[in-house]
Amino acid sequence: MVSSLVSHCLFQSACTNAIPFADDPLALPSDPGPFPDEHHEIENEITGLFTAIYKLRSRQNTFSRICRLPPEILSQIFIFTTFTNVEIQLTLPLSLIRVTHVCRHFRAVALECPALWTEIYFPSTPWATEMLKRSKGADLILNFRKVGDRLLFDRTLGKIEPLKEALTQVHRIQDIELNAVATAELNLLFADGFQVEAPKLRSLSIKKFTNPYAITPIIEPRYTLPSKFLCDGAPQLQRLELVGCCLPWQDGIPNLFTSCLTTLVLSQSNGNLQQPTLPQLLDVLETLPLLQRLELEYTLPITPDDVKFLPRSGRVISLSRLQRFRLKGACLECASLINALSFPIEATIKVDCDPPKEWLGGCSALMDSLTKCRGSALKPKELTISGVSINPPSFRITMWDKVETVKTGKSLLPCSLDVDLKGNIDSTQSLKDVLHVLLSGMDLDGLQALEALATHWTKNMWGRYFGRLPQLSRIRLSETGAEELIAAMAPRLVTGTRSQVQSKMYFRALKSLTLDCVQFDEDDSYGLVVDKFIDTLMLRAEYGADLHELVITGAVKLIHEDVDLLKEVVALVEWDGVVDDGYDDEDYDDEYSDDYSDGYDYPY
């Protein structure tokens, strides 16, 4: 052990005091001094060899087939291979740069292709500026938007400047898409009023920043476009969408409305006082002969509070190419505009009304105006009525001109009319009156399918409005009203000849019935008693009005034995097999709580 310790000490001493040999090639002097010229020559020779290798590789690439393509074709390939998914493009703003990093030839072709850099996505500030340079004189598409709930730009002047710089080249901008912008950003972007001419602008969309899912709502101040916004005109503008932005109607009709417009969307918050007058709005629509889509949300002429019934308008504007029409506002305000329009019967109509000042007057004026603008009575083939009950939060009526519905009740075709009226109905008599007003303007003789959701109609209402329709072959009922419908289906005469009983029977053409989320409970006042249901079906079958198909989904308190009995009466019974006893798990837990004590835990 002593010898090993001595050897270790001698080795450490030798390493510390060692002097390199003069002929040792690895020995370095304490001051190496400047590199000799031979070293620089070696470095230059290495650089030359690398340069030669690069040149040889470039020559080698010229033999590949894709590099022998003409630059025009290769540029088009680059355009097709760029990302078309907006969210991917926003999260990976450098995706286009990858094309320039493949080889020298690819980079040269890509940099000489301005069309590859024309669709600029902000918020990538440095690359947005670089893409603007590389686009040269090509037409631009500017997109300023967010992905999901995360804004991809900071609300600072530095992040807005690249977009503001791009807007200075408005002479070559085709599309402008500003999504989720705040009032502060808009004030910075259009501080000079944007009093320019946009000769190539085809689409302009400005949507204010909103976050409906925020715990603390962000109260954004209203923004009004400058009175001379695009005052020099945008002759090729085809799409105009302003959401959350007000127009300065008090200064006259803006210059944004050109004869080339095919899409016009004006949406602002309720209670905004900057709304056009009816003559102003009609003057605008009269200059839009190519309009195909019109959406106005709280941008309708205000009707005075003392007006209960709408007078007839002597001026009617024809929108012969209109395909989609959506209004949102007060009931009489919507009716006032519709009353002054005329458009094709094929156009789809969506009307979302606030509570009318007077139920019957508002509903009647609205339905009359819808009938007038279409040029004839509404003739639905399929009809959905939801929530028409005593004291609902709202009710809705939807109609289709064609029938193509899956068994779940979801139509495969766009509806031709969708009216959503919010408010409360006071009594059963008012319910009958409102339902009468809604259906009086319709020709229901051709109705083939009816869907009723959350309704509280009586037996007489079912029979009066739908019982004698000759082509009504399919009914889908959801949640409530099944017991009254089945009562209306029962033969009203049990004696007499077969023809006499059939003549008094409602729903003679009914072949398919769907019951969704219906209670089969005889103890519930709204429950459907299975025995009465089966008796009604058997009586109808006896007089030649048997039901061919019965679909039951989401039923409450329906058991297998009841379904077996129904299968003996109806040829085709489809049941989802769900057995619901009507009790919630929480109610069960409360009834049999773990806190129950039998008394034996007490010491006395």
d(CA 50, CA 190): 53
Amino acid at 459: K
More confident residue, 331 or 9: 331
Is residue 64 one of the residues assigned to a domain?
yes
Q: Are 404 and 374 in contact (CB under 8 A)?
A: no
Is residue 16 one of the residues assigned to a domain?
no
Which tokens hold the place of 274? 């900057």
Identify the domain boundary among 50, 84, 117: 117
- Which residues in 387-448 belong to E strands, given as ranges? 394-400, 417-422
Rounded to two decimals, what is the model's pTM? 0.75
For residue 296, the model assigns a pLDDT of: 93
d(CA 241, CA 263): 8
Q: What is the DSSP letter of 147?
A: B
For residue 597, the model assigns a pLDDT of: 43
Q: What is the DSSP letter of 416?
A: S
For residue 34, the model assigns a pLDDT of: 59
Q: In 62-144, where does DSSP find H-type helix?
A: 71-81, 86-91, 104-111, 125-134
pLDDT category at 357 given cuts 50, 70, 90 is low
d(CA 523, CA 445): 37
More confident residue, 491 or 475: 475
Is residue 81 one of the residues assigned to a domain?
yes
pLDDT category at 523 given cuts 50, 70, 90 is low
pLDDT in tens, 420-439: 776 555 555 566 777 777 78
Is residue 41 one of the residues assigned to a domain?
no
- Which residues in 387-522 belong to E strands, given as ranges? 394-400, 417-422, 449-453, 474-478, 512-516
Query: Which range is least confidently modeled, 285-294, 353-362, 402-411, 449-458?
Result: 402-411
Is residue 485 one of the residues assigned to a domain?
yes
pLDDT category at 396 given cuts 50, 70, 90 is confident
For residue 603, the model assigns a pLDDT of: 39
Is residue 20 one of the residues assigned to a domain?
no
Identify the domain boundary among 117, 151, 184: 117
d(CA 278, CA 552): 50
Contacts 24+ apart (CB under 8 A), 191-195: 193/226, 193/227, 193/228, 193/229, 193/231, 194/167, 194/226, 194/229, 194/230, 195/226, 195/228, 195/229, 195/230, 195/231, 195/232
Question: Residue 266's CB: how many other CB atoms inside 10 A?
Answer: 23
For residue 262, the model assigns a pLDDT of: 95
d(CA 532, CA 553): 19
Contacts of 432 by beta carbon, 8 Å cutoff, 6+ apart: 461
Residue 509 Cα distances to 37, 353, 447, 450, 539, angstroms: 106, 34, 11, 12, 15
Identify the domain boundary among 71, 98, 117: 117
Can you tell me the mean pLDDT for 570-594? 65
Average pLDDT of the chain is 76
Query: Which range is least confidently modeled, 285-294, 317-326, 493-502?
Result: 493-502
Domain containing residue 572: 478-597
Is residue 432 one of the residues assigned to a domain?
no
pLDDT over 90 at 550, yes or no: yes
pLDDT over 90 at 481, yes or no: no
For residue 601, the model assigns a pLDDT of: 41
More confident residue, 438 or 70: 70
pLDDT over 50 at 22, yes or no: no
Q: What percent of the chain has pLDDT over 70?
A: 70
Is residue 466 one of the residues assigned to a domain?
no
Tally of structural domains, the chain: 2
For residue 218, the model assigns a pLDDT of: 56
Can you tell me the mean pLDDT for 248-265? 87
For residue 24, the model assigns a pLDDT of: 46
Match 């007839």 to its residue by tokens.
312
Can you tell me the mean pLDDT for 415-422? 76
d(CA 316, CA 6): 115
pLDDT in tens, 182-208: 788 888 888 888 888 899 999 999 988
More confident residue, 31 or 338: 338
pLDDT in tens, 71-121: 888 888 888 776 554 444 544 445 677 778 888 888 888 888 888 888 887
